[in-house]
Structure 1
């Protein structure tokens, strides 16, 4: 049972050299991802003089996030596992692949990376706002929660299938591509409704910099719930491991 493998770890993990390197890697990967993802939206708004959202804008956001996440996961994979998402880290924790304390260190690094990326964008663009995630007209908070659960389920399920599963074989080499593609596809599906976050850190940075917290809880509850469901489903159905066969914490 995956829940039986959950471990707390120790506070010492935060000061161990490999833990520090992993946290730095998560910080840098998140900064790369958010800077490109948020930046693409800001660039589109500038090119259209702040016009209304359009299908072209949604496609550009999807492509930018897919490409940036592919790179962000790739550059962090050999150091931290390339989580680049507190929901992915939570899914790894539920599956017993990372301890609670190490996961919290990842969370702090990921959230800081997102905030710093948004601050850099704000400065580099001469004060343009990094808009917080928001619900579209006619979309309720619970509609958005369902969207986030389903989209993040797809993301974390992909992570498990391509990066965590010990039987992944050669498919593990395309994990960053698959992860980037599912995020891009989900943005095409959900971006017009709630922004398609799938990542609490991606929502957190813009919320901090713009100090806008409307419905912010949606972008935590949905992704964390979707990640937990995906981890449990994949672990219970497709990974048959004893507590002694646990994967290293650096491999998601």
Structure 2
């Protein structure tokens, strides 16, 4: 619960639009709410922040192993990937819903931040005993790098990224449709780049 509240406070302190999670940043990029170059900078900042935080905890405590996301005994890799996918799916879906809410009612940013924090708490209540609940690839990245424990790090990237993509598909194609077909999405994507950088002849809607 404290983890969820800390995310809510971080969002509020940054105006309700904090990018703390690469999975969320990927979702915002796929939905064309965020330009790719800015997304790359966000992810770089997220990973740098994770490394700095992990190094700080290691320096203060001398032991960071409890913060490393790992599979609990008896949990298979496919189960861990599926669980990470599901908890991140619900988080990103809530983020997309609250983004839609704030675009219509900016005054509700406090409520939106609390909803996102609750989604983070819910994910941890469900997954913390099985995987430590990565949900955020950056959160898993720092401790893994500092401890040189990369064995299952890919799980905490694959699951959250898959969950983010599924949330985008459900939200923007079914719950709050923004495009009638893939061609509409592609046409809007092309506006992000100079025309000569996209080979429109090789694309078939």
TM (norm. structure 2) is 0.81
Distance (whole Å) between structure 2 residues aligned to residue 64 and residue 234 of structure 1 = 28
Map 1:81-120; keep pairs closer than 5 Å. Answer: 81-120=17-56
Give the length in aligned residue pairs.
Answer: 182
1:228 offset after TM fit, Å? 0.9
In the other structure, the counterpart of 1:231 is 168
In the other structure, the counterpart of 1:198 is 135
Which has the larger displacement, 104-113 or 127-136?
Answer: 127-136
In the other structure, the counterpart of 2:196 is none
In the other structure, the counterpart of 1:214 is 151
TM (norm. structure 1) is 0.67
State whether residues 162 and 168 of structure 1, in contact with CA within 8 Å, keep that contact through their aligned partners in structure 2. Answer: no
> Deviations for 1:86-126, whole angstroms, at most 9, x for unmatched residues?
0000000111111111101000000000110111111122x
2:64 to 129, 132, 136: 129
Structure 2 spans left out of the alignment, 5+ residues: 180-184, 190-205
State whether residues 171 and 177 of structure 2, in contact with CA within 8 Å, keep that contact through their aligned partners in structure 1. Answer: no
State whether residues 118 and 209 of structure 1, in contact with CA within 8 Å, keep that contact through their aligned partners in structure 2. Answer: yes
Distance (whole Å) between structure 1 residues aligned to residue 63 and residue 130 of structure 2 = 23
1:229 offset after TM fit, Å? 0.9
Alignment RMSD (CA, Å): 2.3
CA 1:208–1:171: 2 relative to 1, 3 Å? same
CA 1:173–1:238: 2 relative to 1, 3 Å? farther
State whether residues 136 and 156 of structure 2, in contact with CA within 8 Å, keep that contact through their aligned partners in structure 1. Answer: yes
CA 1:168–1:148: 2 relative to 1, 3 Å? farther
2:121 to 184, 188, 194: 184
1:172 offset after TM fit, Å? 4.0
* Local SS of the residue matching 1:135: coil
State whether residues 12 and 110 of structure 2, in contact with CA within 8 Å, keep that contact through their aligned partners in structure 1. Answer: no
Structure 1 spans left out of the alignment, 5+ residues: 1-62, 247-252
* Local SS of the residue matching 1:194: coil
